[in-house]
Amino acid sequence: MEKTAAAIRSLATEAVHAGREDLAALGLHAAPLDLSTTYPSHDSRAEAARIDEFAATGARPEGPPVYSRLDNPTVARFEDALARLEGTESAVAFASGMAALTATLLVRAAAGLRHVVGVRPLYGCSDHLLTSGLLGTEVTWVDPDGISGAIRPDTGLVMVESPANPTLAEQDLRDVAEAAGSVPLLVDNTFATPVLQRPCESGARLVLHSATKYLGGHGDVLGGVIACDEETARQLRQVRFATGGVLHPLAGYLLLRGLSTLPVRVRAQSATAVELVRRLTADPRVTRVHYPRIGGAMVAFEVAGDPHEVISGVRLITPAVSLGSVDTLIQHPGSISHRIVPEDDRRSGGIEEKLLRMSVGLEDVEDLWQDLDVALGGSRRAGVAAAEAPPASERRTEPAGVPEPAMR
């Protein structure tokens, strides 16, 4: 699809129009959904040539589609749109975020580059996939200032998540990219979305999204995507075709639709999150609040009492894994999203036992605060009176102060 207008459009405009440039010529207003698994062809020689070309190069087949595991028009629309939003040449979509990460590791392993330098914390399953060696990967965990010293001849990736899951720790992506040098930097941008940051503008080579989260935005679709250069995309397409981790066309349709409202949702959710952070920071039942400088709708906080009582005490907010939906979700990372990570490794990454992670939705801030207030009251009754908590002047918000959400 034509990409010449990308430089003069705002991100909000791109979100609405990217991936839909040819609709007028097709006589359509809404993007179509193509559920075909296979496509008729009366020219078997031409079809064979397209398959051979894909097998050799990984380039998208020219001409009519052949088979949905090879290429699907609906999925391609979502890929084109996401690449536009991230400012990359290409994007390759998968059945989930973990399938996208798996394909990336396999691409690097195929080049003899099985070593990964990682910065914790990462999403728990990403951490586990790297640490387990399930794909033959070897990982070295370092602090950001130890990246360059950990790189070896067989290092295929440097991987960070910023803001990180679940502590919302941020990395200076330009510094990380500089430390990585010629080794590709993979940034998990799930929490920030391209509304808040575009990692490739800071030197990253690959951008990972669990598209299940903010890109879809409604808690009803599973998917993953890597935004990258076209050369890497060709390699990823070959792995996707060979391993079958394809995104279903219906998921591609829902994700494309989700992108159109992404900037609006992130702005509204971020504004509510900022207000909740202000109130949580001033609340004696909360000992620490984590919120990223770039803003966003993710909030993490540590409570003085029992975090499990807070989880059981909410009524409007949903206790559930995942994030980025239109409704507010809360969970306890130590026992849910990061339970698969050994306790010592969790602690070293800042994931404390009393930490809760909240994904702020589109509800009214007063309704959300009322629900939290009641749930935190239950936490206080569990054993720590408000008077015993540190005064507000000694409680910490990370980072210092509460930023207004930065928007593109």
Annotated catalytic residues are 69, 123, 188, 213
Tokens 């070959």 label which residue? 238
Do residues 155 and 113 lie in contact, with contact meaning Cβ atoms separated by under 8 Å?
yes
How far apart are alpha carbons 158 and 204 in whole angstroms? 9
How far apart are alpha carbons 120 and 404 in whole angstroms? 26
For residue 381, CA distances in Å to 300, 313, 320, 378 come to 21, 12, 23, 5
Strand-strand pairing, 90-94 and 115-118: unpaired
List of E strands, 266-348 = 286-290, 298-303, 318-319, 329-331
Query: Quick one: 28 exposed, middle or buried, by C-beta within 10 A (0-12, 13-18, 19+)?
Result: exposed
**φ, ψ for residue 228, nearest 5 deg:** -165, -175
Neighbours of 181 (CB within 10 A): 12
